Amino acid sequence: MSDLTRFSINQMTVKQLTLPELVAACRDLGVPAVGLWREPVQEYGVDATAKLVRDAGLAVTTLCRGGFLTAVDPEERAAALADNRRAVDEAATLGTDTLVLVSGGLPPGTKDLRAARERIADALTELAPYAEDHGVKLAIEPLHPMFASDRCVVSTLTQALDLAERFPAHQVGVTVDTYHIWWDDTAPEAIARAGAQHRIHTFQLADWITPLPEGVLNGRGQIGDGAIDMREWQGYVEAAGYTGSIEVELFNEELWARDGRELLAETARRWAENVDV
């Protein structure tokens, strides 16, 4: 059997499984860690989820996700900050030290990416110390540029690092996700920079397949099915000093239509075939 010590399954990959089903499947397959999402965790109960994973001996590598910090309207901004504080609280309760942040897109009717990125920095000034007080690190995730207008104005690892570097590394770092950065020939250098500063807070895998579906959100490919050389990217993060979990996070309608337990087994197998452990 493959060595799955560094494997983590992001809950969204197998979202057809309930939390108890996910935990049971992880136990049966020898999967040691999960990345969780706020919505299903809230539905099951944050404390109940914490107990469930703790009793099963599962590590929680990340909580997805905070962020959406680009609002101009003061009330919206205050609501976003309050929601992010709750996300920090939830991460602490779940026993993970990493909260993934997806920045948010352009507010309706605006066209200024630079100003939107600056509002994220402002918000982090309030959030980062709060996270530190709760033992949680924020991991800014650059999303693929195709999400720049409606989901995440932070499109490259360099942009994410430029934001993160305004704060101590134990407060704010980055998420390195192959799906979002594989096309970027400046990303390897940014990974080296992030590693030298101890800011690689999580490393996630998804493969790039085409054609992209309408809306492009749920088109991530199973590991090994697409254009991305996973070992190449693993090489970059490890050369930069990263030794943590390697999490698989897929959003894919076809995969979600399949049996969740079988999909988890396939994902673990594909992971082991495509990374060096």
Q: Can you tell me the distance from the alpha carbon of 225 to that of 147, in angstroms, rounded to the nearest whole number? A: 22
Q: Can you tell me the distance from the alpha carbon of 221 to that of 227, in angstroms, rounded to the nearest whole number? A: 9
- CB-nearer residue toward a copy of itself: 35 or 226: 226
- DSSP lists the bridge partners of residue 247 as 8, 204
Tokens of 39: 């919505």
Judged by CB under 8 A, which of 14, 22, 102, 106 binds a copy of itself?
Answer: 106
Tokens of 199: 């800011």
Judged by CB under 8 A, which of 3, 55, 75, 185 binds a copy of itself?
Answer: 185
**Interacting residues with a copy of itself between 149 and 178 (CB under 8 A):** 149-150, 155-156, 158-159
**C-beta separation of 200 from 170 below 8 A:** no
Token look-up 């609501």 returns 79
Q: Residue 183, interface with a copy of itself (CB under 8 A)? A: yes
Orientation angle between helical segments 19-29 and 46-55, nearest 10 degrees: 10
* Phi (first) and psi of residue 219, to 5 degrees: -115, 20
Shortest Cβ 151–a copy of itself spacing (Å): 9
- CB-nearer residue toward a copy of itself: 68 or 87: 68
- CB-nearer residue toward a copy of itself: 210 or 243: 210
Judged by CB under 8 A, which of 55, 74, 111, 257 binds a copy of itself?
Answer: 111
Number of shown-chain residues binding a copy of itself (CB under 8 A): 33
Q: Return all residues near 150 (Cβ < 8 A) that are at least 6 apart.
A: 105, 106
Q: Residue 270, interface with a copy of itself (CB under 8 A)? A: no
- CB-nearer residue toward a copy of itself: 51 or 231: 231
**C-beta separation of 87 from 128 below 8 A:** no
Judged by CB under 8 A, which of 228, 250, 255, 268 binds a copy of itself?
Answer: 228
- DSSP lists the bridge partners of residue 19 as none
Q: Residue 115, interface with a copy of itself (CB under 8 A)? A: no
Among the candidate windows 123-131, 192-200, 212-220, 261-269, which touches a copy of itself by CB under 8 A? 212-220
Among the candidate windows 60-68, 91-99, 109-117, 256-264, which touches a copy of itself by CB under 8 A? 109-117
**C-beta separation of 154 from 169 below 8 A:** no
Q: Can you tell me the distance from the alpha carbon of 178 to that of 194, in angstroms, rounded to the nearest whole number? A: 15
**Interacting residues with a copy of itself between 124 and 153 (CB under 8 A):** 144-146, 148-150
What's the distance, CA 196 to chain centroid? 20
**C-beta separation of 201 from 98 below 8 A:** yes
- CB-nearer residue toward a copy of itself: 3 or 111: 111
Applying CB under 8 A, the residues found at the interface with a copy of itself are 106, 111-114, 144-146, 148-150, 155-156, 158-159, 182-186, 208, 210-216, 226-229, 232
